[in-house]
Amino acid sequence: MEIRFNFKEAEQRWLEIWRKAGLGEPSDGAGEPFVMVIPPPNITGSLHMGHALDNILPDCLIRFYLTQNRSSLRVPGTDHAGIATQYVVEKNLKTQGIDRNSLTRQEFETVLRDWAEKTKTNILEQMVNMGCLMDFSRTRFTMDEMCSRAVRHAFKALFDRGLIYQGDRLISWCTRCRSALSDLELEHQTQKGKLYCIRYPLRDGSGFITVATTRPETMLGDSAVAVNPGDERYKGKEGQVLTLPLMNRDIKIVADYRVESGFGTGAVKVTPGHDPLDWAIGQDHGLSIYRVVGEDGTITAAGGQYAGLKVEQARKKVVEDLKAQGFLDKEEPYQHNVAVCYRCAQVVEPLISKQWFLNMEPLKKLAIEAYEKRGEPKFFPEHWGGIYFEWLKGLRDWCLSRQIIWGHRIPVWHCAKGCPAAAAVETPDRCPTCGGTDLVQDPDVLDTWFSSGLWPMSVFGWPEATPDFKRFYPTTLMVTGYDITYLWVARMIMMGLYFSERVPFRQVYLHGLIRDAQGRKMSKTLGNVINPQDIQNEYGTDALRYALLAGAQPGRDIYMAKDAFVGAKNFVTKIWNAGRFIKVEWEKPGSELASGPPHPSDDWMVSEAATVASEAARELQALDPAAALRRIYDSFWGHFCDWYLEIVKIRRSLNSNRGPLKLLTEIYGHYLKMIGPFMPFVSHEIAHELKNLHGWDLLARESWPSSAPLDEHRREASRHWWHFFSGVVTEIRVLRSDLNIAPGEELAFHLEGSKNGVFSETDYLLVESMTRAKRAPEALPGTRIRRPVLEGHIELVVYMSRDWDGRKEAGKLTASAKELDQAIERLEALLEKSDFASKAPPDVVQKERERLSGLKNRRGKIADYLQQLGA
C-alpha cells in the first residue's frame, strides 16, 4: 500500500470498475425505488461549481440508498438552452470571423447541433469523473426525439384546449438576442443614470405640467400624462389637454390611483407601448399606443425626426432638443433598477409584439391546490414552500415564443388561404380546415423552460405509458438551486399536475449558490471563479466532494475558498493513513494471534461507531448530508484516529504486538462504509487493499454498518470510563499548553478521590504514554495544580518539575487575564446592543455568544491557576 493516496490513478480505475458493475442501474428489488432526474446542465460549456453541487449532493444520497439495498435510479441528461446556447455559439463564430447572419437557417442549425454533440459529451464525462452513479443508458437531451415528442404533444394538448393563444401584448424584448423574454428571464441591475424633469405645456397656454422620467426618448410615444386623483397639486387638471414637446401632438391628463405621488413631481408620462404599468393605464383609459422603439433597438417611424437612431443616440438628441426649446426643467443623477437579459445583460426593451402565450390560470390553480391542501411537494428548507406558494398566486400568462433558431420549433402551421392556425404532433400534409397543402410552420421556437418543465415526465417516455414511466414516475426527490425555483421547479410541478395529475417529485431540496469567501457571486470579471476540474486535478475528486457536501445546507449559500479543499484533502490523507497503519500491522509476524487482554476502550469505540452510523443514516434520510458528514468526520478523526487508534498502538506495544487488531479493522470498516457515499474513491481503494481482511467484493454494495448493541451495563461502563480517561488526558495536555510546559519537560500526576478505582494499571500506562507525564504513587513536594475530573468526583493533581518558573508563568497568566477581560467587555457590549441582536443573522449572534462563553471559561481557568499559584 503506497505511502500516499494516488487519486489520479485510483479515480480512473474505479470509474471503470463501477461502470462495468452497473452501479448506476436500478435493481429489480421489491419496494418503492429512490428516483431522481438531474437538473440538465445547459450545453453552453463546461460544468461549474454549482453544477458540481447539483450532481455530487444527489449522488451521495443515491450511494447511501444503495447501502440500504433500495433500488435507486438517477437519470442523466442535458438541456439545449435555447437563447443561452445560441448566444455562446454566435460569439464563438465571431472569433472565427463568421457572422451568424451570413448562414442560412439550416447551416446555422448544423453548427448548433455540432456544438451540442461535442458539449454534451464533455458534460457527461465531467459528471462521470465526479464519481456520479447514473444510468447512462437512459441519458436524455431536451431536443432528442423522445423529449421532442413530449414537447409537441404537450403543446398541442394545451393549444387544442384554448390555453395557448397568439396576441399582441407588451413583452420584454432583448435587442441583442432579438427575442422575446419571459418575466423570469430578466435580471435586475442597479445602474447610475439621470432623472429628467420635462415641462409639458397646456394647450391653452395657461401653464405646464412637469413630469419626471429616466427615459426621455420614450416620450416620443406618450399618449397621456397621469396624476393621482388624491394629489391636491393637480386637482381640477384631469381631462385638460397638453401638447407633447418635440412631437407637437395633443395628449390629455388622466387620473389614476396607480400613480405614486411621491415620485418626481407626482405627474408621470404614460407610454403604453413601452412600459408595463403604462400599458395597464392605457388599457383602462383607452389611450392610443405608439411603438417608437423597434426590435433592433432603433427609433421607428413613429418617432418622427428621430427615426433610425439607436436608443442611446435618441436619448442624447431628445435631451439636447428639449434644452434648446426650453422644455427641460432640470436633470439630476439618479440610481435605479434596470431590467436586463439574463444571458447577454443587454438592457431589455418593453414593447408591443405578437407572441404565443400560455394561459397559466388552470395550471397554477392545480399547483396552489396541491400545496395548500396536500402539502405537495415538500420543500427543504420548509420556508421556500411558502415563498413558492405566494409567487404562484401572482403568476401571469407565460410568453412562450422566442425569435431565435435553436430550440423546439413551435408546432403550429399556418395555411396560405388564411385558415385558423393548427397545432400538430407530426408535420401535417394538409390544412385541417380547407384541405390545402400550402402550409408554413411558425418560425419561432419555444422558450427553453417549456421542454425543461416536462423533463421529469419526458425522460421516462411520456406521453406513452412506458414501463419506465409506470415504475419511476413520479420521482422521489429533486435537488437544484433555489435561484431557479420559479423558472423551473414551479413549471415542472404545474406541468406534472396538469398532464399526469401528480406532482413530478415528492420532495424538493433547494441548495444555495456557491460564492467566494467574501460572499460575492463567482464571475470571470471578478476573477474569483473556482473551476471544479482544477480542484479535481490538484486535490482529488474526494476533496471536491467533501468540501461541497460539508458546506451544503438547504437554502443557504456556500462561501467557498481554496482552504476548504486543503482541509478536505487532509481528511482524505487521514483516512488513508489509518488504513495503511492497519494493513502494515496485519503484515507483521504473529498479527493473527490473540488480540490481547480486553479493555474498556474497545466497548467505548464499538458503541461510538454504532451510534454514529445510526445518527448519520437518520440525517441522510432527513436530506441533511452536511450534518451526517460532520458527525462522521468528528467521530472518525476526533474519536477513532485521535484516541482509539492511539490507544491500540500503545496497547500493542505494551503486549508484544498483541492487541485488538481484528476489532480495530472491523470498526475501521464501519467508518469506510459510512464515508463511501461522500468520498467514494479513497474509501473503495482502501477497502480493496483490505479485501482479504473484510472479504468485501465492492464497497458500494455493502450494507450500511450495523452492530449488535452492547448490553446496557457494558455501554454505560465504557462511557463512564471514556469520560474519566479522556478527561484526565485532556486536562494534562491543556495544562501543559496553558502553563507553557514543553512536551519533553517532566510532569508527574496522581489521582485523588472516592472513585479512583475505575482506573486500571493499563489506563495509567496509557495516560503516561499519551501525555508524557509520570504517575506519582503518592503526593510529592513542590508546585502543584489541581483540576477536577469526572464531574468533580476525582481530582487530578499535577506536579511541576523543579526547573519550572512559577512566578514567570504567573506573570504571563496575569497579562492574559487582562486581555481576556477587555475582550469579554467588548463582546458583552456588542451583544447588549439591541440593533446587533435584532439585525445580525441569528447564526452570527449565536457564534458571538458561544465565543463569549469560551472566553469566560478560559478566564475562569486562568483565575483558578493564579489562585493555586498564589498570584
- Domain layout of the chain by residue ranges: 7-155+453-544, 179-350, 545-710, 805-871
Please tell me if the domain spanning 545-710 has the same topology as the one spanning 805-871.
no
pLDDT of residue 727: 92
Rounded to whole angstroms, the Cα distance separating 402 from 180 reads: 5
Fold of the 805-871 domain: Helix Hairpins (1.10.287)
Question: C-alpha grid cell for residue 481?
Answer: 438551486
CATH fit for domain 179-350, picks 3.90.740.10, 3.40.50.11540, 3.30.420.40, 3.30.70.240: 3.90.740.10
Location of C-alpha cell 436530506: 623
Q: Residue 428, CB half-sphere, CA atoms under 13 Å: how many?
A: 25
Q: What is the mean pLDDT of the chain?
A: 92
**Predicted local distance difference test score (pLDDT) of residue 642:** 96
Angular region, 698: left φ>0, alpha ψ -120 to 50, beta rest:
beta
C-alpha span between 155 and 488 (Å, rounded): 17
Fold of domain 545-710: Isoleucyl-tRNA Synthetase; Domain 1 (1.10.730)
* pLDDT on residue 594: 56
Beta bridge partners of 401: 446
Q: Domain 7-155+453-544 classified CATH 3.20.10.10? A: no
Set of cell numbers at residue 728: 484526565
Report which DSSP code applies to 805.
-
pLDDT given at position 592: 65
Cα(162)–Cα(812) distance, integer angstroms: 83
Dihedral sign, Cα of residue 494, residue 496, residue 501, residue 504: negative
pTM confidence score: 0.86
Tell me what pLDDT residue 8 has: 95
The stretches in the chain having pLDDT less than 50 are none
